[in-house]
Amino acid sequence: MTAVVDTPRLTAPQPRGGVVQSVGDSLVVAKRNLIRMMRIPEMIIFGLIQPIMFVVLFSYVFGGSVSIGGSLDPKGYREFLMAGIFAQTVTFATAGAGAGIADDMHKGLIDRFRSLPMARGAVLTGRTLADLVQTALTVVVLATVGLLVGWRVHHGILKALGAFALLLLLGYAFSWIGALIGLSVRTPEAATSGGLIWLFPVTFVSNAFVATSGMTPWLRHVAEWNPFSATVQACRDLFGNPGVVPSNAWPMQHPVIASLIWSLVIIVVFRTLAVRKYRSATA
C-alpha cells in the first residue's frame, strides 16, 4: 500500500496596502540614511559648524550696528536675528538633501532600489525624513548656542515648540526642492551648487537679518511675500522676540497661518514633481 501524505499548501503572504507599504519602506530607507550619517560623523560636524559661525559672527559683528525698533542694543538684535538663523539653517539643509540623492543616483544605488519590491516614492521620502532628523539635531545645538549669546524665549515653552515645528516643516518642504534638484543633475557637486544658488536670494531678500522697511517698495513686497519671511516672522511672534516694522502684507499679519500654507504647498508641489522625476529617471 502506498501512503498518501498531505503536504501543506504554501500561500503567498498577502500584500500590504499601498499606504502601509509606502510608510514602511520609507522608514527603512530613512534608517539606512541615518546609519550612514552616523558612520560619517564629519557630515554632522560640518553641518553644525556653519550655523554656529553665523550666530557668532552676526551677533558680534553686526549686533551694535543694526537698529531694531529704533535701538542699537546688541541684545535686541541677537533676539531679532535668531529666528532668521534658525530658518536659514533648516533651508540650507536642502543642498545636502540634493547632493545625497545625486550621489545615490551616480553610484547606481537608485537602480538597485528600483529592482526591489518597494514603493516608488519611498526612496525620496526616506531620504527627506533622515535629513529632517539631522536638521532637528542641528536646531537643538543652534538653540543652545543662541541661549549662550543672549537669545531668550519670552512666550513659554509651548509656543517655542510650535515655532520649532514650523521651522522643521519649512526645512522638510525645502528638502523636497533639494530632492528634485538632485534628480535633475548628473553629479553631487552640481547638486550642491544648484541647491545653494537659489537659496541665497530667498534667505537674504527677506526679514531674516534686517527689517524690510528699509528696502525699496518692490523689493519689500517680494520679501514680505517670501515663504521664508513668513516662517521667520511666525517664529519671532511665537518666541516673543523683537519683530519688524508692522506691515499690511497678509503673510506678515498672519505669519503662522501663512507659514503653514506655504510649507504644505511646497511639499505637495515639489514632492509630486520629485516622485515623477524619479520614476522617469529610473524607467
What pairs with residue 68 in β-bridges? 71
215 compared with 163, residue with greater pLDDT: 163
pLDDT score, position 254:
92
Share of the chain above pLDDT 70, in %: 86
Alpha-carbon distance of 39 to 220, in angstroms, equals 44
The per-residue DSSP string of 79-108 comes to HHHHHHHHHHHHHHHHHHHHHHHHHHHHHT
pLDDT for the residue numbered 7: 47
pLDDT at 282 over 80: no
CB 139 within 8 A of CB 86: yes
pLDDT of 163 reads 95
> Model confidence over 50-95: pLDDT tens digits?
778 888 887 777 665 665 655 556 677 788 888 999 999 899 888 8
Report pLDDT for 68. Answer: 64
Q: Higher pLDDT residue, 135 or 122?
A: 135
Look over the chain and give the mean of its residue pLDDT values, rounded to a whole number: 82
The predicted model gives 165-176 an average pLDDT of 94
pLDDT at position 281 is 64
Rounded mean pLDDT, 199-208: 90
- Taking only the tens place, the pLDDT of each residue in 16-46 is 446 777 788 888 888 887 887 788 777 778 7
pLDDT greater than 80 at residue 260: yes
Q: What is the pTM of this model?
A: 0.84
For range 252-257, the mean pLDDT: 93
Q: Report the pLDDT value the prediction gives residue 264, as an integer from 0 to 100.
A: 97
How many CB atoms neighbour CB 106 within 10 A? 16
What sign does the dihedral 225-231-232-236 (CA atoms) show?
A: positive
Regarding predicted confidence, which is higher, 160 or 247? 160
Query: Is residue 162 pLDDT above 80, yes or no?
Result: yes
Query: In the chain, what is the straight-line distance between the N-terminal and C-terminal CA atoms, in Å?
Result: 58
- pLDDT at position 192: 78
SS3 at position 68: strand
With H, G, I as helix, E, B as strand and everything else as coil, classify residue 158.
helix
Which has the minimum average pLDDT: 115-119, 139-143, 182-186? Answer: 115-119
Residue 249 has pLDDT above 80, yes or no: yes
